[in-house]
Amino acid sequence: MKKAVVLILLLMVLVGIYYKAGDYIASAYVSEVRLNLIGVSDNSVVFRMSLVVSNPITLDVRYAPHNLTLYYDDHPLAVVRTSSGVLAGGSKNTIVYEGRIPMEALKQWFYYHAARGWRSEFYIKGRIVVQFGPVKAPIYVHSKIKEVSSNPFTEIINREFLGREENVGYYKLQYPSVKFSGVTWDGRMLRMKLTYINNSTSPILVQFPTYEFRANNITLGTTVTDSILIPGKSTVESEVAMDTQNIEKFLFLHFANGETTVFEISMEGAIKYLGITKRGKIFDIKFTYRTDIFSR
Q: Where do the domains of the chain lie? A: 2-149, 159-293
* DSSP per-residue letters across the chain: -HHHHHHHHHHHHHHHHHHHHGGGIIIIIEEEEEEEEEEEETTEEEEEEEEEEEE-SSS-EEE--EEEEEEETTEEEEEEEE--EEE-TTEEEEEEEEEEEEHHHHHHHHHHHHHTTSEEEEEEEEEEEEEETTEEEEEEEEEEEEEEE--TTTTTBTEEEPPPEEEETTEEEEPPEEEEEEEEE-SSEEEEEEEEEE-SSS-EEEEEEEEEEEETTEEEEEEE---EEE-TTEEEEEEEEEE---HHHHHHHHHHTTS-EEEEEEEEEEEEETTSSSS-EEEEEEEEEEEEES--
CATH number of 159-293: 2.60.40.10
pLDDT for res 255: 80
Identify the sign of the CA torsion 72, 181, 186, 45. negative
CATH number of 2-149: 2.60.40.10
The residue with greater pLDDT, 288 or 118, is: 118
pLDDT for res 69: 95
pLDDT for res 20: 35
Distance CA 148, CA 139 (A): 27
- Checking if the pLDDT of 12 tops 50, the result is no
pLDDT for res 134: 80
Is 159-293 in the same CATH topology as 2-149? yes
pLDDT for res 155: 65
Q: Mean pLDDT, to the nearest integer, of 21-44?
A: 63
pLDDT for res 290: 55
Supply φ then ψ for residue 295, to 5 degrees: -100, 65
Confidence at 281, pLDDT banded by 50, 70, 90:
low
- 148-187 confidence digits (pLDDT tens): 887 767 767 777 777 777 776 666 777 788 888 877 777 7
pLDDT for res 76: 94
